[in-house]
Amino acid sequence: MSGTEIFICPECRNAVAFKNIGTSHSCTACANPLSMKGGIIRLLPKTLQSNKIMEDEKWTNDVVVNKNYPAWFLLLERKNTINYLLDILFKTHNFDGYVLDLGAGICWASSLIKTRFQSSVVVAADVSLNALQKGIEVDRLIGGNIDYFVNCDIEKLPFRDESFDVIFGSAVLHHFFDPQMGMSEVYRVLKKGGKYIGTYEMALNGLLRGGWSRFGTPGIVSKQQGVRENVYTFSEWKRLFENAGFKDFEMPLERDWIYMKPHWLNYAYYKFMSFFPDFIPRLIGSGIGFVARKT
């Protein structure tokens, strides 16, 4: 299968003739507008929920990280998540074959995956066009040469069934507007024998979840930026994967405080929790990762 054969229209699921996509194009089956401009393939559905539109808007308005900052600055801000990928994930997982970086943002992970696994076909996908435009700059800085940048909706992925050997997502699943639809799409485009690798999610005790959702970081960010910030318990994460079709999956705790800087609250919490066994943060709350295999 060549790389271009994985693309479909997100509305009608018909194959997209990649060679015919120009600056202006429509699906021949349903007239959904499609395009390719500036190195980014735009395969969005006809409508998007407001929180997904705001994911793009925050790249203009965010006072901490936005599209006007240079690529090197954005990489510095992600120093610890980058180190986690290099120090932990690259030593425990292969990213061979067709790889989808889900919610790629500025594409730092896509680019690093491509530098380490050069024979893989790497697709960086995000709903934010602004983020992907900055991702092209980041990729040039890192030198990964990502194969495809795709502007799309995670809950209507524009890829054929069983297209990817590996799907990677860093702090992305909690943004789903429709969590079950989103996870079902992840399962659909993953090949049999393939795996989803997720990082930097959070699971909380059910008694704490409500307060954190309203008054903690998720509630503040959601109110200020209009984006979706779901908060789940351990059992809710488990059901989400099971209902999507995954039977073989792990939910390891991510509690290494070294990778929590510069977020001082996370850093302090996980450094304190480092003195206790796993069952303590499982009772209260913890960062969590996922390894889910499609059998």
Which tens digits make up the pLDDT trace of 13-24? Answer: 998 876 656 666
Q: Which of 126, 173, 171, 132 is nearest to 152 (CA)?
A: 126
Q: Which of 13, 5, 22 is nearest to 121 (CA)?
A: 5
Strand partners, 150: 41, 125
Task: Give the single-character DSSP code of 148.
Answer: E
- Candidates 3.50.50.60, 1.10.287.1260, 3.40.50.150, 3.30.1330.10; CATH matching 39-293: 3.40.50.150
Query: CA 269, CA 216: separation in Å to the nearest integer?
Result: 14
Upstream peptide bond of 262 is cis (omega within 30 degrees of 0): yes
pLDDT given for residue 262 in this prediction: 65
pLDDT given for residue 21 in this prediction: 64
DSSP-derived pairing of the beta strands 190-204 and 164-170: parallel
pLDDT given for residue 65 in this prediction: 63
Give CA torsion, residues 90, 258, 252, 109, to 10 deg. Answer: -40
pLDDT given for residue 28 in this prediction: 81
What's the predicted TM-score (pTM) here? Answer: 0.93
pLDDT given for residue 236 in this prediction: 95
pLDDT given for residue 225 in this prediction: 74
User: Domain coordinates of the chain in residue numbers?
Assistant: 39-293
Which tens digits make up the pLDDT trace of 84-120? Answer: 999 999 999 999 999 999 999 999 999 999 999 999 9
**Successive 10-residue mean pLDDT values, the chain, 295 residues:** 82 79 76 88 91 80 68 88 94 96 96 97 95 94 96 96 97 92 97 97 88 74 77 94 97 90 80 93 93 97
